[in-house]
Amino acid sequence: MSVAIELAAVGKRFERAGGAGGDYVALDGFTLEVREGEFFCLLGPTGCGKSTVLHLVAGFERPSAGSVKVFGSAVAAPDADRGVVFQTEQALFPWLTVEENVAFGLRMRGVAPAERDAILDRNLELVGLPRHRAKFPRELSGGMKQRVQIARALANDPRILLMDEPFGALDAQTRRRMQEEVARIWSATGKTVIFITHDIGEAIWLADRVGVMTRGPGARVKEIVEVDLPRPRHAMNAAYVELYNRLSATIQAEAEAMLND
């Protein structure tokens, strides 16, 4: 199977404003390969560098060391081929309506109006927002804004979908529905997905493999677990519970070590 995303010995150093205390090394020797068509979930303690990894793959940040490649080419800049759903719901353009936000990339790429409208309708339907298409972000709940972001990312039909804790702000029921939707889209389209979450259960439910990061500074991949369970998955299954406990112990160990650093 071919490699879609490759981070090789990646370091990421952030300059600290004012120079006091020196720079902060978020990642050091971070190595990860994500296979084409794979659903990869990334877990790790808060502040360890999960979003930084995603921003490097998206092309918003450049590595300080090592290399970041997508389908064999070094990532140089953001591209419509990599759709991003950001952690913050502030990622929408506040001066554009829901449909203008979703159609933004299509407009930028000069997609013809008829095709643009068809893509728009399909994706608004997918995330359950057709009745809210004329609203502005400020008129939407947090969960609705996340759904607009998902529709916006999918509208460009990217080969790679990068999702940063996309369901953190959703109520349990909507979250469940969106998880099912994302699983369905993934299996129907064969997209390669990196999905960041805090929720171990969500990771096991969605992923082919789950990677756990070490705490920062100098975070890297601590453990990768293969989720070899048939889909659709059931949380009450013994193998699921065993995986849950194993991942939970790994994360717990990092979180406790962080308190003693």
Q: Give the interface with Mg ion as residue ranges (CB under 5 A).
A: 50-51, 87
Site for ligand ADP in 163-182 (CB under 6 A): none
- Which CB, 92 or 219, lies closer to ligand ADP? 219
**Residue 62 within binding range of ligand ADP, rule CB under 6 A:** no
**Residue 24 within binding range of ligand ADP, rule CB under 6 A:** yes
Residue from 13, 14, 136, 233 touching ligand ADP (CB under 6 A): that is: 14
- Which CB, 31 or 46, lies closer to ligand ADP? 46
- Which CB, 50 or 133, lies closer to Mg ion? 50
User: Where do we find the tokens 């995986």?
Assistant: 243
Q: Report the relative pairing of strands 209-213 and 39-43 from DSSP bridges.
A: parallel
- Which CB, 52 or 97, lies closer to Mg ion? 52
Q: State the number of binding residues for ligand ADP (CB under 6 A).
A: 12
**Residue 137 within binding range of ligand ADP, rule CB under 6 A:** no
**Number of C-beta neighbours around residue 160 at 10 A:** 21
**Residue 216 within binding range of ligand ADP, rule CB under 6 A:** yes
Site for ligand ADP in 78-107 (CB under 6 A): none
- Per-residue x/- marks for ligand ADP, 28-57, CB under 6 A? ----------------x-xxxxxxx-----
Nearest approach, Cβ of 50 to ligand ADP (angstroms)? 3
In the complex, the residues that contact ligand ADP under the rule CB under 6 A are 14, 24, 26, 44, 46-52, 216
